Structure 1
Amino acid sequence: MQKYFLVVVFSLCFFLNNAQNSKDEILFTVDNDPVYVSEFTRVFNKNIDLVKDESQKDVDEYLKLFVNYKLKLKEAHALGLDEKPSYKNELANYKSQLAKNYLTDSKVTDELVEEAYYRTVNEVKASHILIRLSDNPTPEDTLTAYNDLIKLRERVISEGFEQVKSQVHNGKTIYAEDLGYFTGFKMVYDFETAAYNTNVGEVSMPFKTRFGYHIVIVQDKRASRGERTVAHIMINESRKDSLQESAKQRINDIYLKLQQGEDFESLAKQFSEDQSSASKGGMLSPFSGGQLTSIEFENQAFSLEKVGDISKPFKTEFGWHIIKLYNKKSVESYESMKGELEEKVKKDSRSQLINSALTNKLKKQYLETDKQPDLSYFVSILNDGYFSGKWALPQDFKANSPLIKIGTKQITNEAFGAYLEKNQRRNMPKVDFNKLVSDSYEQFLEKQLLQYKEEQLAFENPDFAYIVEEYRDGLLLFDLMETEIWNAAKKDSVGLNNFYNDNKESYFWNKRVDAVVASSAKKATIKKVEKLLRENKSPEQIKLELNSENSIDVIFSSGIMDAQHQSLPSDFKFNTGISEIYKFNDAYIVADVKEVLPKELKTFDEARGMVISDFQNYKEANWILDLEKKYTVTINQDVLAKVKAQLNN
């Protein structure tokens, strides 16, 4: 885990400062390559709150990490990893992805984010009728679909949606469906807009999405349900318990104990089989509607009205649950959700509205005129083969003729001609060549403007340039570590076995017991259990004697348990036989220890994961020693003293 943490920290924060201040001093060199004070102090201050190891907050210790980082980068370049096609491709993809954050129109984006917030915190319940259309419908097909939906709309208004649905839905060309409640981003943007713009009880006019033509019938609108914080007790459906007790029986036993007044948190710690939450009394992170995988769990959580309410046992795909409501919140404020919503807007189809606004801005920034150039030449070289995907540029195509200039970049006919050729499709509906060329040119121009803006970002925006440089070094470092250490260690079967044999003392099972543990909220009940266990009564016999259909006084757990097991207190004595009574998790327990399993060596297969991790750390430490011999590191001690004084103030 440490190696991945360090790669992430350094890859995000270490980058070269190409414009060093003339007064910036050299802190150290790696084979005469300088590393400046400004870079070290910047990353030290930037990372200090991320570093958990207090020793690494010391300047000298941090400098060691920094030097090691520089040694690794030096080695990566020496190995030519920065020339690998996979590295170049991934860096280019990242750069392109990052550029999207800078290629936007802030005004339009803000308006869309505000709209998205309203639609996120308000739900619509709707139905719709859809007439499917092909990807390239003819004008006749489009008109027919529109007119058919006008008629269906009139029928829905007069006859009701359910009546029309039963008669027209075929699941192929016509869909009539109930959609239930939904919020923003759950439907395609055009459909979402129509639904939110239609009043409750009304039927929209026909509108188009990429699926075809729709009408939407809005039944209800309501505020979103907000956020819930719950704890749960979960029992797996497939249980590994030697008592052969069903999950349903066990969850019902726990529910009866809750009804008897026992503490929810205590029971969750003792019996919940969700290991990620049991130790926290079953507490889960807060969630909102639509956030959970299990719809049933979510509905049960939102059905609880008052803080402290507890559900009846219910089943999901994960097992049986009981949940308790700890907190309920209304929807978040706009300011708290703004960042998240902006990311969604940029990834959603509504981003086309942002692109259009940005394109208009870039036209003003980089073009001398907004008017289309003379495109008649392209109209003249098209023919009907374009609509069947068989058209090709003519042999005498005027590729080098200038078409348009974007900033300092001259675009020629060659680029637009290639665009036209690439974007023809088989079975395209025939349209007027003038319109086809004009529309295609606008799409082509938008792409060219965005591409040119992206190319200029590193010169126009220093933040963008720095982040790209950070990622460039980080990606290179990760590639180096994966090649030289992580994968190499995993594949070195001989080295792994030798390392295991040399370090066996590190790979032991702790002392464990094979035991049956009884738990009860009542000490008197546990005393009875202790007596019955000494009489060699089985857990089933004891439960029959002490529990009833309406009252669960004792619950048993069984299996192989170590000192950290949730059923055992920290001071539990590992002796065979009936244990003493312990107070634990606001309850009382007694155990019947069948066998004490001593501390024993793990086999190689049992310890494999730990062996690989330790072996990787071992290889990395020795590798760093080799790099220190290969490359000369010279630290300017006088400058370092000044850096320490500055950072320690």
Structure 2
Amino acid sequence: MQLRYILTLFTITLILNVKAQSAQKDVLFFVDDEPVYTSEFLRVYNKNLDLVQDESQKDVNEYLTLFTNYKLKLKEAKALDLHNKPSYKRELSNYKKQLTKSFITDRKVTDALVEEAYERISYDIKAAHILIKVAENAKPEDTLVAYNTILKLRNRTLNEGFETVRKEVHNGKSVFGEALGYFSGFRMVYKFETAAFNTNVNDISKPFRTRFGYHIVHVLDKRKSRGERTVAHIMVVEKKGDSLAEKPETRIQDIYKKINQGEGFDALAKQFSDDKSSASKGGVLKSFSSGQLGSPEFEAIAFGLNDVDDISEPFKTKYGWHIVKLIAKKPIPPFDAIRPELEEKVKRDDRSKLIDEALYASLKVKYNINEKQPALNYFESILNEDYFKRAWQLPDDFNKDEPLVKIGNKQLLYKDFGDHLLKMQRRGTQKGSFKSIILKEYESFLNSNLVKYHEDNLETENEEFAHIVNEYRDGLLLFDLMETTIWNTAKTDSIGINDFYTAHKSNYVLPKRVDAVVASSAKQKTLKKVAKLLDQGMALDQIKTLINSNDKVEVIFTSDIMDAKHQALPKSFRFKKGISKIYKHNDAFVIIQVKEVLPETQQTLEEAKGTVVSDYQVFKEENWLKDLGDKYKIQVNQEILNKVKTQIKKE
């Protein structure tokens, strides 16, 4: 009786365990014989839910189609053996190395570097420097010459003045003397940044080395960061090759007069700015901080505006003529608000070397690595002068199978370090003591193997890491697959492209357009006068002279070939030859003189080539996916899919 009870209990427990596991391992569908689990689908669906632009993709059925297509492509990529390409393996390995740093770092070191970075982005340094170029792997004698040269130059700057010496010695080849302007944290390599921020204003630093060579830096000023500026601008550029086009300086001055007459800046930007990327937004640009723009003149004007809504006078840069309006001033955010962003920057910067060193130290502790390595004496004893000639060989009686160091479950042998030494000698080694060479190379050998072992095992230890690596792995495969199967072939398939164009010619038609002049004014009364003058055939320059004055701009003209989406045309405008009625448009009034209505025009293949190739790629991919669907059978578990839909609705 007791035995029957125990067996029954065991059976019930076993069934419950199987059900619990199956809930986690529900198969949503198969691609041939390969299962795809519900857990993966839900994870990817929920992760991408807020990113999709098309609302239809939030529908489970629609998303399942996308997901099954994704799995079909992966199946094909592996069938083509793309996952065994050396370039694929190399890129994935590099990515994993970078990703590992995000998961295993020394928090104390990282936190200290992040706090230091915040302090530095809170200030701007104005400096100049002198650089003596010398390669990172230069011979000791060349390094010494460079150091002595920069030392002598520093002594000269102390006696003769930094600027005098800087301008004299600069040759743009081996010696650089440059005025750097203002910069903040992350604008220079870390060693240079550190030297500059650790040097007092008006002082000249002691010589220091970066990967470029030896520098001295003269700090001229240090100020609190000016934070970020958001501005709007109106830009007018020269229309090269158009002899009838108005001079940009004249046009910008006319626009400026209209601003002073009280017309809205954003309305004028929408009508007249040649920066098409910002015109539709009233000229508003992305926020920027000191040193981010390619135009110092623009930056100086932008940061020179003190109050929100202040507007500059017209000024010129290498890009054209501008008027700038201050939209917002934003100081450096509080530390906690930008900490995650700063941490990412620190990990991508030269500072990451310090984090690497902390990582190596933590891994030595994790895997219980003994700092003392008696075997190094043996390796020192077998090294000889041939090593510097790249001709050194391991001795015939080399103890290759002797254990060297154990990392986790991996035993490294003398042979492994011996192979490392052989490999490193081929890269060239500066002369030094055998002891120092062995110590340096063993440290490099040990660190790389520690990280490699850690990387190799991290996917089994950290689920989040495993998901991210898997997504990147699949992304690389899909990129290679699409490039070789669709993108490259679609570009070079001239016969296919021509046939596709012929079959879809109606898709490549220029829309109906007008050759027109648009007159814009803040006053309807002015446009009534303009309409009469246009009707009389008066030239635009004459009309401007008659209507505008030196102090006041009443009308601005825009001449162009325009389609219905042109920024100067009202949406309700109907194409018709002649002079239109007055329309309210972009907070102003406009009339349109249509000289000619241009009908829809069929584009040639050459004219529409870019669009045709893009459409052809989509066409090829759609047909290719159908073929993949025939090649690999998709079997969806409808019962499990219904459970998924119910679960998503509850969420």
| TM-score computed with the length of structure 2 as normaliser | 0.88
Letter in 2 for 1:236: V
Question: Which range is displaced more, 536-545 or 170-179?
Answer: 170-179
**1:283-316 residue CA offsets vs partner (Å, 9 max, x unmatched):** 1111112222222222221111111111222222
Q: Which residue of 2 aligns with 1:481?
A: 482
Question: Which range is displaced more, 152-161 or 243-252?
Answer: 152-161
In the aligned structure 2, how far is the partner of 1:631 from the partner of 1:174?
Answer: 63
Q: Which residue of 2 aligns with 1:556?
A: 557
Q: Which residue of 2 aligns with 1:125?
A: 126
Matched residue of 1:423: which SS? helix
Would the aligned equivalents of 2:239 and 2:245 in 1 still touch at CA under 8 Å? no
Distance 1:305 1:240, change over 3 A: farther
**1:66-85 residue CA offsets vs partner (Å, 9 max, x unmatched):** 33333333333334333444
With CA pairs under 8 Å and 6+ residues apart, which has the higher RCO, 1 or 2?
1
Would the aligned equivalents of 1:122 and 1:183 in 2 still touch at CA under 8 Å? yes
Letter in 1 for 2:598: L
Distance 1:423 1:295, change over 3 A: farther
Distance 1:484 1:189, change over 3 A: closer
In the aligned structure 2, how far is the partner of 1:625 from the partner of 1:253?
Answer: 59
Distance 1:161 1:53, change over 3 A: closer
Report the CA distance between 1:111 and its aligned residue: 0.6
Distance 1:78 1:416, change over 3 A: closer
Q: Which residue of 2 aligns with 1:346?
A: 347
**1:122-154 residue CA offsets vs partner (Å, 9 max, x unmatched):** 122234455565656787887787777777666
Q: Which residue of 1 aligns with 2:606?
A: 605
Letter in 2 for 1:412: L
> Are 1:217 and 2:238 counterparts?
no
> Are 1:78 and 2:42 counterparts?
no
Matches within 5 A, 1:365-376: 365-376=366-377
**1:380-399 residue CA offsets vs partner (Å, 9 max, x unmatched):** 23333444545444454443
Q: Which residue of 2 aligns with 1:419?
A: 420
**1:560-610 residue CA offsets vs partner (Å, 9 max, x unmatched):** 111111111111131112222222112222222111112233333333333
Would the aligned equivalents of 2:183 and 2:291 in 1 still touch at CA under 8 Å? no
Matched residue of 1:52: which SS? coil
Would the aligned equivalents of 2:72 and 2:632 in 1 still touch at CA under 8 Å? yes
Matched residue of 1:604: which SS? coil
Matched residue of 1:101: which SS? helix
In the aligned structure 1, how far is the partner of 2:414 from the partner of 2:488?
Answer: 49
Report the CA distance between 1:232 and its aligned residue: 0.9
Unaligned segments of structure 1, at least 5 residues: 1-18
Matches within 5 A, 1:479-518: 479-518=480-519
Q: Which residue of 2 aligns with 1:646?
A: 647
Q: Which residue of 1 aligns with 2:16?
A: none
Q: Which residue of 2 aligns with 1:319?
A: 320
Unaligned segments of structure 2, at least 5 residues: 1-19
Q: Which residue of 1 aligns with 2:433?
A: 432
Report the CA distance between 1:555 and its aligned residue: 1.5
> Are 1:102 and 2:113 counterparts?
no
Distance 1:191 1:77, change over 3 A: closer
Distance 1:173 1:501, change over 3 A: closer
Q: Which residue of 1 aligns with 2:3?
A: none
Letter in 2 for 1:579: S
In the aligned structure 2, how far is the partner of 1:60 from the partner of 1:287?
Answer: 42
Question: Which range is displaced more, 546-555 or 387-396?
Answer: 387-396
In the aligned structure 2, how far is the partner of 1:68 from the partner of 1:171?
Answer: 55
In the aligned structure 1, how far is the partner of 2:498 from the partner of 2:175?
Answer: 64
Report the CA distance between 1:491 and its aligned residue: 3.2
Distance 1:233 1:425, change over 3 A: same
Matched residue of 2:102: which SS? coil
Would the aligned equivalents of 1:120 and 1:183 in 2 still touch at CA under 8 Å? yes
Would the aligned equivalents of 1:547 and 1:554 in 2 still touch at CA under 8 Å? yes
In the aligned structure 1, how far is the partner of 2:162 from the partner of 2:137?
Answer: 29
> Are 1:268 and 2:269 counterparts?
yes
Matches within 5 A, 1:43-54: 43-54=44-55
In the aligned structure 2, how far is the partner of 1:253 from the partner of 1:184?
Answer: 41
In the aligned structure 2, how far is the partner of 1:602 from the partner of 1:167?
Answer: 60
Matched residue of 2:321: which SS? strand
In the aligned structure 1, how far is the partner of 2:175 from the partner of 2:240?
Answer: 47
Letter in 1 for 2:97: S
Distance 1:186 1:535, change over 3 A: same
Matched residue of 2:221: which SS? strand
Q: Which residue of 1 aligns with 2:254?
A: 253
In the aligned structure 1, how far is the partner of 2:503 from the partner of 2:171?
Answer: 70
Matched residue of 1:629: which SS? helix
In the aligned structure 2, how far is the partner of 1:98 from the partner of 1:128?
Answer: 35
Letter in 1 for 2:632: Y
Report the CA distance between 1:446 and its aligned residue: 2.0
Would the aligned equivalents of 1:241 and 1:557 in 2 still touch at CA under 8 Å? no
In the aligned structure 1, how far is the partner of 2:131 from the partner of 2:476?
Answer: 47
Distance 1:550 1:241, change over 3 A: farther
In the aligned structure 1, how far is the partner of 2:573 from the partner of 2:296?
Answer: 41
**1:336-370 residue CA offsets vs partner (Å, 9 max, x unmatched):** 33233223322333222212222111111223421
Question: Which range is displaced more, 474-483 or 299-308?
Answer: 474-483
In the aligned structure 2, how far is the partner of 1:142 from the partner of 1:86?
Answer: 36
- Give me the identity figure in percent: 58
Question: Which range is displaced more, 136-145 or 48-57?
Answer: 136-145
Distance 1:175 1:515, change over 3 A: closer
Report the CA distance between 1:531 and its aligned residue: 1.1
Would the aligned equivalents of 1:373 and 1:403 in 2 still touch at CA under 8 Å? no
Distance 1:27 1:427, change over 3 A: closer
Report the CA distance between 1:415 and its aligned residue: 3.0
Would the aligned equivalents of 2:520 and 2:589 in 1 still touch at CA under 8 Å? yes
Distance 1:58 1:181, change over 3 A: closer
Report the CA distance between 1:240 and its aligned residue: 6.7
Would the aligned equivalents of 1:373 and 1:404 in 2 still touch at CA under 8 Å? no
In the aligned structure 2, how far is the partner of 1:488 from the partner of 1:211?
Answer: 43
Matches within 5 A, 1:1-20: none
In the aligned structure 2, how far is the partner of 1:244 from the partner of 1:633?
Answer: 62
Letter in 2 for 1:325: L
Report the CA distance between 1:174 and its aligned residue: 6.2
Q: Which residue of 1 aligns with 2:70?
A: 69
Q: Which residue of 1 aligns with 2:634?
A: 633
Report the CA distance between 1:512 and its aligned residue: 1.0
Q: Which residue of 1 aligns with 2:593?
A: 592
Question: Which range is displaced more, 497-506 or 127-136?
Answer: 127-136
> Are 1:329 and 2:330 counterparts?
yes
Q: Which residue of 2 aligns with 1:5?
A: none
Distance 1:351 1:40, change over 3 A: closer
In the aligned structure 2, how far is the partner of 1:336 from the partner of 1:372?
Answer: 46
In the aligned structure 1, how far is the partner of 2:607 from the partner of 2:32?
Answer: 44
In the aligned structure 2, how far is the partner of 1:133 from the partner of 1:23?
Answer: 59
In the aligned structure 1, how far is the partner of 2:626 from the partner of 2:173?
Answer: 68
Distance 1:139 1:483, change over 3 A: closer
Q: Which residue of 2 aligns with 1:624?
A: 625
In the aligned structure 2, how far is the partner of 1:487 from the partner of 1:427?
Answer: 40
| TM-score computed with the length of structure 1 as normaliser | 0.88
Letter in 2 for 1:481: M
In the aligned structure 1, how far is the partner of 2:480 from the partner of 2:165?
Answer: 60
Q: Which residue of 1 aligns with 2:115?
A: 114
Would the aligned equivalents of 2:515 and 2:561 in 1 still touch at CA under 8 Å? yes
In the aligned structure 1, how far is the partner of 2:601 from the partner of 2:153?
Answer: 76
Would the aligned equivalents of 1:388 and 1:426 in 2 still touch at CA under 8 Å? no
Question: Which range is displaced more, 173-182 or 54-63?
Answer: 173-182
Question: Which range is displaced more, 634-643 or 563-572?
Answer: 634-643
Matched residue of 2:514: which SS? strand
CA RMSD of aligned residues (A): 3.1
In the aligned structure 2, how far is the partner of 1:406 from the partner of 1:37?
Answer: 37
Report the CA distance between 1:173 and its aligned residue: 6.6
In the aligned structure 2, how far is the partner of 1:621 from the partner of 1:170?
Answer: 58
Matches within 5 A, 1:446-461: 446-461=447-462
In the aligned structure 1, how far is the partner of 2:144 from the partner of 2:83?
Answer: 56
Letter in 1 for 2:125: V
